[in-house]
Structure 1
């Protein structure tokens, strides 16, 4: 095995691996550091200061899933998620600046210590200093925050890809879990639940590997492998979800005028406006990050064009083009009907060049009608008419100008918004005779393909 082959092999292994983690492998001990910030730490810290921070108590924000960590063999008593969610919530409330957290999780410890202080002060007052001030009263909370981690779903999405050729191969696998938290604010004056927010966060795990296994000569085996695994920490996912929940709770309160930010009406209205737009976008996204489009009109006008490729009796095939205008009406959520007007050129080089006009009638099935990206299939009858005299090199007795056909195809549609969409598609057109290219040869009828892109306008 020469040096060039080894270099190529190493490059392939490096490509198959996740470069960011592969070239930052830990080989030494790291000192303690401050905890990492999540994606929602910065938006929470960047909120404008509160007009009047609120005293808030958190007795318990617990793991309500009841799940234990999954293992391949045997059993474990380790929980699937952190049991310190209350501490994470208190830290998020403190970081926001909108709340004054009051210790309630270990109230018995606090009460015990205050009793010790009170007894000590009484002895001090009696024996040494009668003017010693009494112990201040405890703060009471205007709000109580309740809720918890209510769901931890594993393997909601799994997949991978791999290939191997002559002992050289690699693979990539991924798994997605999901954690869900609820947070509610309760008025201590009335017991009314003022607001409830619900936040979910996905947790990603990835594994990539590459390997080589081959006999390079008699009784000489060369074997090499490399790979990495990355697992998003569950604790950071919980922290991310809780910080998002705290921020949403603050903004929901500003929206309902339960509390306000410094800076007056303009600052509060701007906060509400940005939050409302963000909330609308997030509510349109379903499970698996599927983006749903609401209020899609039933009618659409489409403009499309692309490449046309004839497959007839001549061996020489040159690409032509087509342009199309169409109309569709959505009868049901998944089903629509419509028609197209077409102009198309078909080219067999010097043997045949033709220009055609046509009409198609199609029934279309949309697999994911409310998703922003949806596959679709369609089909139906059509009619093709030759325009002008074709440039041919054949007998005149074979000439024909009108053709019946059937077409079917499929593609992908993408909603830019509720009024505008784009599509890519491939289409197969079957002529009912063998005279499209003005030559009859063999038993198969002529046909052609369309490959195109289009723009849809909904109204």
Structure 2
């Protein structure tokens, strides 16, 4: 009875989770399309003094890529073939451009010819046509926009996680694709390329599922499954990339004086400063949304607590304690730093106490991932070991490794371990054999970075 109760409870929980994912039991009515333009943009509510007339002949998929399916390739294209229409809508919504029909200009010319023929046929030949009866001339574009969707990379990042125990488990999966758009403005007077904009957008697909498969009683099998898959629409991703490309074209055109905003030079300077910050952020952000930004300042102070273990001529050694304080200087190359520190420790072992408890160290450190919050590091260097009276000092060589995690900028928590090799066999007070004494230090530390 207990098994049935717990199984029913699990089914209820899974069913309630399924209800929260809003299963589409009913059809939806047509609605206005989603707005993909971000609310807080560099351009804001800035309007032009006069919209620029632009023409778009074609802005299409140049990848030639077909949609991938499980059993081969579909004849459907991977991305939309209507990018020209999306671009025209984006230009119109921006209020900075007056787009004119050029994609199907032959249809427009044919219709105008039909209008002229009809008017000539049914008008009085002895009556002169008025200005209202004459078709106005077509607008001509000072700028034409070219480019297209030049890349669609599927599965640039995939992964997931899951667990199962006694037939009950859950899993999640994700996949990330990437689309790239180029947009360029060309002057119709001399053919000069005025601006080229490059925009990329990732497309995320996610799936989560939970299931249970087990016997609740003899000849009674319970099987429950619930899950959800959510795919970001590719058409909306294309639209968002094109919207961003149009915004970038407007901003860089303002900066270069191709078109002017209302408000004059103060507005231009404001846009320049905001766009410079966005460019700097884009420069630091690389593929897979990794931010290449220094997480540490030029100087650092650290405090480390841990243990110390002697490895000398005695077979029995007890774990002692250690304390270190270090100064760290980071070079212009963010992978390298120099550490200078001092420490006090207690090297316990069975027998008389060891009269070496004070160290001075200098190390060269290599940081593997200086732009990440979590990074491994290795270091090596030299120093001395002596007592607090600075008597009987012995030189030593040390090397170690560890992991540092920065929960916030300029504050790091590290876990480390190191081996210290001395050049004396008398550290533990006994000279025996040919091997010199050495000891281990390991522990936990906190780093405070400051300065530029």
Q: TM-score range by the shorter chain?
A: 0.7 to 0.9
Q: Which residue of the partner structure matches residue 233 of structure 1?
A: 233
CA contact (8 A) 1:212 1:224 kept: yes
Deviations 1:185-224 (A, max 9, x none): 0111111110000000011111111222222333332222
Deviations 1:241-289 (A, max 9, x none): 0000000000000000110111111112211221121112112211111
Determine helix, strand or coil for the equivalent of 2:144. Answer: strand
Q: Which residue of the partner structure matches residue 448 of structure 2?
A: 455
Q: Which residue of the partner structure matches residue 51 of structure 2?
A: 53
Determine helix, strand or coil for the equivalent of 1:141. Answer: coil
**What root-mean-square deviation, in Å, do the aligned CA atoms of Structure 1 and Structure 2 show?**
3.9
Deviations 1:13-37 (A, max 9, x none): 589x7x8x94322221111111111
Distance 1:45 1:293, change over 3 A: closer
Task: Quote the offset at 1:329 in angstroms.
Answer: 4.5
Q: Which residue of the partner structure matches residue 392 of structure 1?
A: none
* More divergent stretch after superposition (76-85 vs 25-34): 25-34
CA contact (8 A) 1:404 1:431 kept: yes
CA distance in 1, matches of 2:207, 2:143: 45
Determine helix, strand or coil for the equivalent of 1:362. Answer: strand
* More divergent stretch after superposition (429-438 vs 28-37): 429-438
CA contact (8 A) 1:362 1:378 kept: no
Q: Which residue of the partner structure matches residue 61 of structure 2?
A: 63
* 1:8-407 pair list within 5 angstroms: 9=10, 13=14, 22-40=20-38, 43=41, 46-126=44-124, 130-132=128-130, 133-293=133-293, 300-310=298-308, 322-329=324-331, 334=335, 336=336, 338-344=338-344, 356-369=357-370, 371-373=371-373, 375-380=375-380, 381-387=382-388, 404=396, 406-407=398-399
Q: Which residue of the partner structure matches residue 433 of structure 2?
A: none
Determine helix, strand or coil for the equivalent of 1:43. Answer: coil
Task: Quote the offset at 1:458 in angstroms.
Answer: 6.4
CA distance in 2, matches of 1:32, 1:353: 83
Runs of at least 5 residues in structure 1 that lack an aligned partner in the other structure: 389-399
CA contact (8 A) 1:153 1:178 kept: yes
CA distance in 2, matches of 1:224, 1:403: 68
Aligned length: 433
CA distance in 2, matches of 1:451, 1:84: 58
CA contact (8 A) 2:21 2:228 kept: no
* More divergent stretch after superposition (84-93 vs 3-12): 3-12
Distance 1:327 1:68, change over 3 A: same
Distance 1:360 1:27, change over 3 A: farther
Q: Which residue of the partner structure matches residue 394 of structure 1?
A: none
CA contact (8 A) 2:60 2:82 kept: yes
* More divergent stretch after superposition (169-178 vs 21-30): 21-30
Deviations 1:53-77 (A, max 9, x none): 0110001001000100001114311
Deviations 1:317-350 (A, max 9, x none): 8x875432234546x675x3633213346699xx
* More divergent stretch after superposition (320-329 vs 164-173): 320-329
TM-score calculated relative to the size of structure 2: 0.82
Q: Which residue of the partner structure matches residue 391 of structure 1?
A: none
Determine helix, strand or coil for the equivalent of 1:77. Answer: strand
Runs of at least 5 residues in structure 2 that lack an aligned partner in the other structure: 311-315, 431-436
CA contact (8 A) 1:214 1:221 kept: yes
CA contact (8 A) 2:92 2:98 kept: yes
TM-score calculated relative to the size of structure 1: 0.81
CA contact (8 A) 1:56 1:141 kept: yes
Distance 1:7 1:451, change over 3 A: farther
Q: 2:403 aligns with which of 395, 405, 411?
A: 411
Task: Quote the offset at 1:308 in angstroms.
Answer: 1.7
Distance 1:363 1:45, change over 3 A: closer
Deviations 1:278-316 (A, max 9, x none): 11211221111122248x99x943211243245676889
Distance 1:356 1:458, change over 3 A: farther
Q: Which residue of the partner structure matches residue 434 of structure 2?
A: none
CA contact (8 A) 1:52 1:98 kept: yes
Q: Which residue of the partner structure matches residue 313 of structure 2?
A: none
CA distance in 1, matches of 2:9, 2:327: 51
Q: Which residue of the partner structure matches residue 416 of structure 2?
A: 427
Task: Quote the offset at 1:41 in angstroms.
Answer: 6.5
CA distance in 2, matches of 1:139, 1:123: 26
